[in-house]
Amino acid sequence: MSRCDNKSVGIVIRHGPDIAMIKRKNFPISYAFAAGHNDGDSPEQAAIKEAREELGITVEGLKHLLKVKLQNPCKRPGGTFHEWDIFEATKWSGELKSGSDAKEAFWAPPHKLHGLAEKSERFLKKHNFKTEDFDLMAATSAIDKDRGWQKNPGLELVWFVMLKKISML
């Protein structure tokens, strides 16, 4: 397994009011947006690559939404923090389909996204984390041990944080 480069991207893709999401099949089990490590690519190249790999979508235009450094874990060695660049696709084509990192890909209407965020808030409260400015490393680790979350997950906690920062929640 390659070492974490501590640089990651995520991409928001809209189809009308709906947003492309995946259900992750690897740690941390949760719902998320297409995302991944830069692995030597520019943030823009990495975002385009992740949309194609995880969603089957070809992105032709991007708008930068957020740059943030978060202490969030990953499965790669050295992955204790990530410098995130979040983009929104301004022009895209293709049919939504799940890639290798996803159990499923789907268009989430706004009420579905908010419902997943509410599950994440309930999880945080259940494990005595604040819903604002919480320890993302510890909370993400707690997901792995929570059987209820594993059976019925919410929004990936790193996305919970980032979507609040860009006012999508």
Q: How confident is the model at residue 73 (pLDDT cuts 50, 70, 90)?
A: confident
Pairing of strands 82-93, 58-70: antiparallel
Q: Structure pTM?
A: 0.93
Mean pLDDT value of segment 7-17: 97
Q: Rounded to an integer, what distance in angstroms lies between the CA atom of residue 46 and that of residue 72? A: 19
pLDDT(1) > 80: no
Strand order in the sheet with 82-93: 34-37, 7-12, 82-93, 58-70
**Position 47 in a domain:** yes
**Taking residues 28-55, what's their average pLDDT?**
96
**Residue holding tokens 């740059």?**
67
In a domain, 26, yes or no: yes
**Report for 11-20, 96-105, 132-141: range of highest mean pLDDT:** 11-20
Whether residue 80 is predicted with pLDDT greater than 90 in this model: the reply is no
Q: Is residue 57 assigned to a domain?
A: yes
Q: Which amino acid is at 156?
A: E
Q: Which domain holds residue 126?
A: 7-165
